[in-house]
Amino acid sequence: MDPISASGESRAVALARRVLRIEADAVAALGARVGEEFERAVEIILARHGRVIVTGVGKSGHIGRKLAATLASTGTPAYFVHAAEAAHGDLGMITPEDVVIALSNSGSSEELLTIVPLVKRQGARLIAMTGKPDSPLAREADAHLDAGVGEEACPLNLAPTASTTAALALGDALAVALLDARGFAAEDFARSHPGGALGRRLLTHVGDVMRPAAAVPRVGSDAPLTQALLAMTAGGMGMTAVVDADDVPVGIFTDGDLRRALEKGRDVRSARVSEVMTRNPRSIAPGALAAEAAATMENLRISQLLVLDQAGRLAGALTTHDLMLAKVI
């Protein structure tokens, strides 16, 4: 058991809170240092037509891998190259149109300083992210991002903790600034994540998941209610579309409409569907996103939605069950 401090908290809890405070303060302090150099870094990357190569060693290398992945998924083609590997052949990946982002808290990593002249000889631009603006790496860079921290969260002030958190946050800031400058949208993000839930929500259209018009139950507006009930039962969608002679929906008859009709004492055997249907039903186009259909159905608390073509004719329909099967919701 950890000893209990005078404040009543264990040593482990006290240390955890100290770490979180130091790292939060380190990230907060970055804001005051984001200025001309940060803007220059963004301009350098936007001006180049190649890729961003992120490099580093040790813990900075781990942060660099994450930065490269974030850039790549937000519209800035990027990949990570370990600095040691770069010095043994991987520099051949770098072209004059590329930008190299080198991460080093000390700014004096031997592996990085070894490749700096070679990067410049290739004609690539260099952005350094260090904790020391007067370091050799910072001085050689075309732009320097200051990720310095007052202290590490490690009680020994040795293990990279606050410094790696600051570099991670500053890298995210750079990626987001580039995302915004490129006009990168949610649909673009989904294209690089097609296998995930986000991709399904943003890349799936109503036409991909709807039931085609031929499979949608429908009756004429002058049909008896009994005929509408039979069509709704056979269709298995909990509804039937009510259409005019041109196949343009004038209403929809659902399970809910049936319950309301029974509550009002309607005679099912003599009533016509036009007397109990929902008029002017909500609809959506086949080219709309399935996520939009899901939002409409959720907001209106309905379970079915008619799909109309450009001429207003019935093109299909979908239910919440269809959206669930497509894993849109």
For residue 169, what is the domain's CATH number? 3.40.50.10490
Same domain, 215 and 139: no
Q: Are residues 173 and 211 in the same domain?
A: no
User: Does residue 240 lie in a domain region?
Assistant: yes
Q: Domain boundary residue among 184, 214, 242?
A: 184
Number of domains composing the chain:
2
Identify the CA nearest to 48 among candidates 154, 126, 117, 139.
Answer: 126
- What lies within 8 Å, CB to CB, of 122 at 6+ separation is 91, 94, 95, 96, 98
Tell me: do 217 and 173 sit in the same domain.
no
Identify whether residues 47 and 155 lie together within a single domain. Answer: yes
Residue 222 lies in a domain: yes
What CATH number should be reported for the domain holding residue 259? 3.10.580.10
Domain membership flag for residue 1: no
pLDDT 10s per residue in the chain (329 long)?
455 555 678 989 999 999 999 999 999 999 999 999 999 999 999 999 899 999 999 999 999 999 999 998 888 999 998 887 766 656 777 889 999 999 999 999 999 998 898 888 889 999 999 999 999 999 999 999 999 999 999 888 888 999 999 999 999 999 999 999 988 766 656 555 555 555 556 678 899 999 999 999 999 989 999 999 999 999 999 999 999 999 999 999 999 999 999 999 988 889 999 999 999 999 999 999 888 899 999 999 999 999 999 999 999 999 999 988 888 77
Which residues are 10's β-sheet partners? 4
Domain boundary among 154, 184, 214: 184
- 48 within domain boundaries: yes
* Full residue range of the structural domain in which residue 67 is found: 11-184
Please classify residue 63 by burial: count the beta carbons closer than 10 Å to its beta carbon, then call 0-12 exposed, 13-18 middle and 19+ buried: buried
Instruction: Answer yes or no: do 65 and 150 share one domain.
Output: yes
Residue 307 maps to a domain: yes
